[in-house]
Amino acid sequence: APVRLPEKAAGPRGGGSAPASPLCALQELTSKTFRGLELGVLQAAEGRDPPGGAPGPRPPCKKRRKSRTAFTAQQLRELEARFRRQKYLSPADRDALAARLALGTGQVITWFQNRRAKLKRDLEELRADVASLRALPPAALRQLAAMPDPPPP
């Protein structure tokens, strides 16, 4: 049944028990609901019955989230190589790549979205590094330039 909100809400210091706005009413309702749930969960964990005797009808279970894809090294090499050449795939290219790598099209779509987001983050970090270097005085820049390169890993 839909929740009915009070038609006249009392002001913040109006003295009435009605919430100040529909948003406040919603917050009050959810906080009471969650407080009740928390209490029931705690009591169930302790082996006691939740308040009100037996638990009421349980809400339908949420759909389980799909597990994280573990790409093989070969799949990652091919995905990275394709990404270097082409940041966005046409549906035909995407389907062909997915079939060749034995992946679902959704996995290829998600991988490319995540890889573009990573590229964007990396570029923003690089821009910030360059900006901070530009802010250094010339003497500090010369000192940095004179430093030896670190050994390769």
Q: Could you tell me the residue ranges of all domains in the chain?
A: 19-53, 73-146
pTM of the model: 0.53
Contact 9, 20 (CB under 8 A): yes
Per CATH, domain 73-146 is 3.90.800.10: no
Task: Please report the sign of the dihedral spanned by the C-alpha atoms of residue 34, residue 38, residue 39, residue 43.
Answer: positive
Query: In this predicted structure, what is the pLDDT of residue 42?
Result: 55
- The residues of the chain scoring below 50 in pLDDT are 3-16
Structure tokens at 26: 């919603």
Q: What is the 8-class DSSP label of residue 145? A: H
Contact 98, 105 (CB under 8 A): yes
Query: In this predicted structure, what is the pLDDT of residue 8?
Result: 47
Amino acid at site 100: R
The Cα–Cα gap between 140 and 146 comes to 10
Query: In this predicted structure, what is the pLDDT of residue 41?
Result: 54
Query: In this predicted structure, what is the pLDDT of residue 12?
Result: 45
Query: In this predicted structure, what is the pLDDT of residue 18?
Result: 55
Query: In this predicted structure, what is the pLDDT of residue 102?
Result: 97
Amino acid at site 3: V
